Amino acid sequence: MPRHIESRTQATCVAYFRRRYPQYAKLLFAVSNGGLRRLREAQIMKAEGVTVGVSDLILLVARDGWNSLCIEMKWESRKSQLTKAQKEWQELAMAAGNKCVTCRSLEEFKKEVDTYLSAPEE
């Protein structure tokens, strides 16, 4: 059930983003790291570059000294926490000049994205 809540929230956030920022619609995309896979499929995906811990959504727009905005979606329960792999990936991504945030609702997503995109371009 929580996975579906997170999925619906993410879909709502993407729909909001595409309506609000049509000029950047194709620059916000999902990374399909989650879900159960058959062993062979998981092996193929890993060989192709799927990396554990990568954020759910990535916005390839530079702002305010950041190269991109990486968004990890979690469901609203505080029991839904970042995994060790997600924390490690965020640290690496930030060290490489990317902003990483976690959003638990459409309201949090709007705040993060609107603030990020209102910052000056660099």
> Which pair of structure tokens corresponds to residue 52?
């554990």
Distance linking the first and last C-alpha atoms of the chain: 41
pLDDT at residue 36, as a whole number: 66
| The CA-based dihedral angle spanning residues 80, 82, 86, 88, taken in that order and rounded to the nearest 10 degrees | -170
The pLDDT tens digits for 25-66 are: 999 999 877 666 787 887 887 788 778 899 999 999 999 999
The pLDDT tens digits for 87-119 are: 999 999 999 999 999 999 999 999 999 999 999
